[in-house]
Amino acid sequence: MGMHTALNELEHDGGGQFDPRFAKTFVDLIRTEFWRPSELDAFLAEGADQFEYVRARARMEAIIELDRLQAPSCVMNMAS
């Protein structure tokens, strides 16, 4: 789900799970402070490398990429 879709859902259906005033205030804040998704992504990414999940995922992606680069070309062609 994209950010805009999530904000729209929260704004329109937030009263069922959250205080509607809180949901509207939160959505307005996000739209005002982080009006571009890239800015929100950058904000959320700050310090993300401190979380074990993020570090483990980066290690796994590096291992997969290394394995992909070391695989014989005939195996890679069969996978295509």
Tens of pLDDT, residues 9-28 = 888 887 788 888 888 888 88
CA 59 from chain centre, in angstroms, equals: 18
Cβ neighbours, 10 Å, residue 4: 10
pTM above 0.85, yes or no: no
Answer with the residue of higher pLDDT: 73 or 7: 7
Tens of pLDDT, residues 41-78 = 777 777 777 888 888 888 889 988 888 888 776 555 55
